[in-house]
Amino acid sequence: KAGVTQTPRYLIKTRGQQVTLSCSPISGHRSVSWYQQTPGQGLQFLFEYFSETQRNKGNFPGRFSGRQFSNSRSEMNVSTLELGDSALYLCASSVGQHQETQYFGPGTRLLVL
């Protein structure tokens, strides 16, 4: 079974631009969660989607948004990029809602210049 895939793996953007990251969960998994990882703050929860609905949201500004499609694939979007948005963005999938066993993808490394 293929693992969680994320595209692109690396991305360079400039301040003020927007970016869309993509995540394909493990086949059969219906829940997708997104995390931001930085050296200073560690891994921080962004949001969780289950059956195309956002179930939980972390403490991030409205510039961060996401969605999930009927095939469970998910995208997250960051608008009006700031330097502080430079981070590794990780996607994790799990079988069902509130499933505690999450499987992580390799992440998308975003650099904002």
Partner 1 sequence: TQLLEQSPQFLSIQEGENLTVYCNSSSVFSSLQWYRQEPGEGPVLLVTVVTGGEVKKLKRLTFQFGDARKDSSLHITAAQPGDTGLYLCAGSYGGSQGNLIFGKGTKLSVKP
Secondary structure string (H, E, C) spanning the chain = CCCCEEECCEEEECCCCCEEEEEECCCCCCEEEEEEEECCCEEEEEEEEECCEEEEECCCCCCEEEEECCCCCEEEEECCCCHHHCEEEEEEEECCCCCCCCEECCCEEEEEC
Site for partner 1 in 53-92 (CB under 8 A): 55-56, 58, 90, 92
Q: What is the dihedral of CA 37, 17, 22, 42, to 10 degrees?
A: 0
Among 24, 33, 72, 74, binds partner 1 (CB under 8 A): 33
Among 41, 51, 54, 71, binds partner 1 (CB under 8 A): 41
Selected range binding partner 1 among 11-19, 33-41, 68-76, 79-87, rule: CB under 8 A: 33-41
Selected range binding partner 1 among 11-19, 63-71, 73-81, 100-108, rule: CB under 8 A: 100-108
Among 11, 20, 45, 65, binds partner 1 (CB under 8 A): 45
Q: Which amino acid is at 83?
A: L
Selected range binding partner 1 among 11-19, 36-44, 59-67, 71-79, rule: CB under 8 A: 36-44
Which residues contribute to the site for partner 1 (CB under 8 A)?
A: 4, 33, 35, 41-45, 48, 55-56, 58, 90, 92, 97-107
